[in-house]
Amino acid sequence: ETGVTQSPTHLIKTRGQQVTLRCSSQSGHNTVSWYQQALGQGPQFIFQYYREEENGRGNFPPRFSGLQFPNYSSELNVNALELDDSALYLCASSWKGGADTQYFGPGTRLTVL
Amino acid sequence: AQSVSQHNHHVILSEAASLELGCNYSYGGTVNLFWYVQYPGQHLQLLLKYFSGDPLVKGIKGFEAEFIKSKFSFNLRKPSVQWSDTAEYFCAVLHNAGNMLTFGGGTRLMVKP
């Protein structure tokens, strides 16, 4: 069974740029959730994708957007990067639209300069 | 909005000491409860979970947690910690009406050999 994978591992961007992060879900899972983990804090829910549709969103602005593909992999896009977007971005996959255990990937560390 | 509180931010113990980490949540409806662990340099891993049934749940590596509905608590325990338990521990709540995990701020545990 393949676990959740994310790419890239690390990324450095400057303010105002755009970034795309990628996630491959664990085999057999059809739901992907994205979380932002700032240094020293717990992860915060950004949004979830289930069957290629957004299935819930946390308190993040519209410049955070996403996609899910037919193979259930997902992308997180962030436009107009701000310094406060520097964080670890975690992807989690699950079954049944998220009402089940979520399994996390290793994360992408984004630094915005 | 629901919230999760972990009252101990940093805990330092000697090997063989007993551990109890507190977790309280604010949501009043039906909840699913989780403890995740993040070892240094590794991704978030599921330690244990409670969905229904026996409120005392056992997880990996000798950890257990007790769900006390009247106290809105889900405390994590281990009778005898090991140096390898050094990690950050996160309590999380998934309420059945939603699909997102709400995390506490985490407890950083250091076990001295």
pLDDT tens per residue across span B10-22: 999 999 999 999 9
Q: With a cut of 50, which residues of chain A have pLDDT below it?
A: none
Residues of A in Cβ contact (< 8 Å) with B105:
40-42
Closest-CA residue of B relative to A59 is B1
Test A102 with B101 for CB contact under 8 angstroms.
Answer: yes
Note the pLDDT of residue B99.
77
B56: number of Cβ within 10 Å:
11
Mean pLDDT of chain B: 93
CB-CB under 8 Å, A92 with B101 = yes
Please name which of A3, A15, A4, A22 lies closest in space to residue A89, comparing C-alpha atoms. A22
Contact (CB<8Å) B100/A103: no
Give the pLDDT score at A1. Answer: 52
Highest mean predicted confidence (pLDDT) among A97-111, B25-39, B49-63, B92-106: B49-63
Residue B20, H or E segment: strand B19-21
A12 φ/ψ angles, rounded to the nearest 5 degrees: -120, 125
Q: Which of left, alpha, beta for B98 (phi over 0: left; psi -120 to 50: alpha)?
A: beta
Task: Using the predicted structure, report yes or no on whether residue B3 has a pLDDT greater than 80.
Answer: yes
- pLDDT, position A27: 86
Is residue B38's pLDDT more than 80? yes
Report the alpha-carbon distance of residue B83 to residue A35 in Å, rounded: 29
DSSP state of A26: P
**Overall average pLDDT of the B105-109 stretch:** 97
pLDDT of residue B97: 62
CB contact under 8 A, A97 and B99: yes
Rounded-to-integer distance, Cα A82 and Cα B101, Å: 25
Q: For chain A, give the mean pLDDT.
A: 93
The pLDDT value recorded for residue B29 is 79
Position B91 pLDDT exceeds 70: yes
Give residue B112's pLDDT band: very low, low, confident or very high (50, 70, 90).
very high
pLDDT at B59 > cutoff 90? yes
Mean predicted confidence (pLDDT) in B38-67 = 94
